[in-house]
């Protein structure tokens, strides 16, 4: 296990135009496997997930935008493929019992509503999204997770990739906890979305950021670090639940329009990320998402902004090094 290496630069210049990047952390109940209350509540089920994903795709297609859809491999896979690998789930459960306490019983009982996202995966792929990796089971891949557990996660993912017919190279780390970079590089991944920097005041600082309607975008979308192509972490689309419900939708829209204008006028990267399932518990996000995507679509269609996936945002590093 190792911490992310010191930052190094590629010498690449930033893109000539500003960039809008959208990444979706697609996980269903896999992302909350250690939260028994959420798992048992039943609010996140197959029907609710399908409605949320359908709504996101409709907005993206209407505005002619693409995104990086980072799927938990188990969420993307068919039920039969998961059951064929029950041996790996049980070995993982022995190492990480809290994480798999709900997963293994659900697989054995067949009560998997909320855990299944194969249709959503197919729909996103058919719509031309970049299909990235969000872990095999969403078990965090941080320093706290053992080498053995990470090796089993990779083995499970590799088995399921064969059934999916897809082999992603980009990682969006579960819970944004970056780690085990040497092992993951050896497994064939070569790019990842960086972890957000914590605000000075913790959660209060994160909340206060949401009220900054003069927010700026990142200077450039990606950098080289330790042999990896690393995409900037971007900013989370406010999920108006708990204390975050204090942030009006209109303020969220103004904040993101400011970042998009900054990217269009001065260059840089306005990168948004979100969990599609958050639209289930906070329907107000549908409004903010639709309004912001409409504005982003206007800027891309006018030629003032490029719309890149994470793979495209890191590819400019390779092009710059060829020059």
The domain that contains 178 carries what CATH number?
Answer: 3.20.20.370
Residue 217, CA distances (Å) to 4, 23, 59, 262, 284 in order: 23, 15, 23, 6, 24
Angle at 117 between CA 112 and CA 123, to 5 degrees: 155
Note the pLDDT tens digit of each residue in 256-302: 999 999 999 998 899 999 999 999 999 999 999 999 999 999 999 99
Predicted local confidence at residue 217, as pLDDT: 80
Lowest mean pLDDT among 29-38, 40-49, 210-219, 303-312: 210-219
H helices present in 140-248, as ranges: 147-164, 181-186, 202-209
Q: What is the C-alpha separation between 250 and 273, in angstroms, rounded? A: 18
Q: What is the C-alpha separation between 176 and 188, in angstroms, rounded? A: 19
Note the pLDDT tens digit of each residue in 237-247: 999 988 888 99
Mean pLDDT confidence for 40-55:
97
Contact 163, 78 (CB under 8 A): yes
Contact 88, 152 (CB under 8 A): yes
- Structurally, the chain folds into a number of domains equal to 1
Does any domain span residue 296? yes
Does any domain span residue 318? yes
- Other C-beta atoms lying within 10 Å of the C-beta of residue 5: 12
- Other C-beta atoms lying within 10 Å of the C-beta of residue 207: 17
φ, ψ of residue 160 in degrees (nearest 5): -75, -30
Q: SS3 for 225?
A: strand
pLDDT: which is higher, 47 or 163: 47
Predicted local confidence at residue 9, as pLDDT: 43
Note the pLDDT tens digit of each residue in 73-125: 999 999 999 999 999 999 999 999 999 999 999 999 999 999 999 999 999 99
Does any domain span residue 187? yes
Quick one: tokens of 155? 């083995």
DSSP state at residue 218? B
Residue 204 has pLDDT above 50, yes or no: yes
Its pTM stands at 0.92
Predicted local confidence at residue 201, as pLDDT: 63
Does any domain span residue 65? yes
HSE-CB of 128 using CA atoms within 13 angstroms: 8
Do β-strands 222-225 and 228-231 pair in parallel, antiparallel, or remain unpaired?
antiparallel
Q: For the chain, what's the residue count?
A: 323
- Other C-beta atoms lying within 10 Å of the C-beta of residue 186: 10
- Other C-beta atoms lying within 10 Å of the C-beta of residue 212: 13
Residue 131 has pLDDT above 80, yes or no: yes
Angle at 227 between CA 222 and CA 232, to 5 degrees: 20
CA dihedral 198, 6, 234, 48 (to 10 degrees): -80
Q: In terms of residue numbers, what domain contains 253?
A: 19-322
Note the pLDDT tens digit of each residue in 48-58: 999 999 999 99
What are the residues whose beta carbons fall under 8 Å from the beta carbon of 4, sequence distance 6 or more?
178, 179, 181, 225, 226
Q: How far apart are the first and last CA of the chain?
A: 35
Does any domain span residue 41? yes
What are the residues whose beta carbons fall under 8 Å from the beta carbon of 58, sequence distance 6 or more?
none
Does any domain span residue 154? yes
Q: What is the C-alpha separation between 130 and 125, in angstroms, rounded? A: 7
Does any domain span residue 12? no
Does any domain span residue 98? yes
């Amino acid at each position: 296990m190792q911490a992310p290496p010191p930052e190094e630069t590629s010498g690449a210049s930033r893109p000539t135009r500003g960039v809008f990047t959208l990444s979706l952390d697609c996980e269903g109940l896999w992302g909350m496997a250690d939260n028994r209350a959420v798992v048992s509540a039943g609010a996140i089920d197959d029907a609710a997930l399908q409605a949320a994903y359908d709504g996101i795709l409709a907005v993206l297609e209407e505005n002619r935008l693409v995104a990086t859809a980072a799927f938990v491999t188990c969420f993307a896979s068919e039920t039969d493929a998961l059951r064929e690998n029950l041996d790996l789930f049980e070995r993982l459960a022995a190492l990480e019992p809290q994480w798999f306490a709900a997963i293994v019983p659900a697989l054995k009982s067949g009560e998997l509503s909320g855990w299944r996202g194969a249709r959503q995966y197919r729909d996103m792929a058919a719509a031309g999204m970049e299909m990235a990796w969000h872990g095999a089971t969403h078990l965090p891949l941080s320093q706290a997770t053992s080498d053995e557990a990470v090796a089993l996660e990779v083995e499970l993912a590799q088995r399921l990739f064969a059934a999916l017919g897809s082999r992603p190279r980009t990682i969006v780390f579960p819970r944004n906890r970056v780690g085990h970079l040497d092992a993951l590089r050896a497994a064939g991944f070569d790019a990842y979305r960086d972890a957000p920097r914590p605000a000075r005041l913790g959660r209060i600082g994160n909340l206060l950021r949401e009220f900054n309607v003069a927010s700026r975008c990142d200077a450039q979308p990606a950098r080289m670090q330790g042999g990896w192509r690393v995409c900037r972490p971007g900013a989370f689309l406010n999920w108006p639940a708990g204390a975050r419900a204090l942030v009006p939708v209109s303020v969220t829209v103004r904040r993101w329009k400011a970042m998009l204008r900054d990217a269009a006028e001065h260059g840089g990267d306005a990168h948004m990320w979100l969990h599609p399932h958050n639209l289930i518990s906070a329907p107000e996000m549908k409004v903010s998402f639709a309004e912001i995507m409409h504005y982003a679509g206007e800027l891309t269609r006018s030629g003032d902004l490029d719309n890149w996936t994470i793979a495209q945002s890191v590819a400019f590093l390779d092009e710059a090094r060829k020059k």
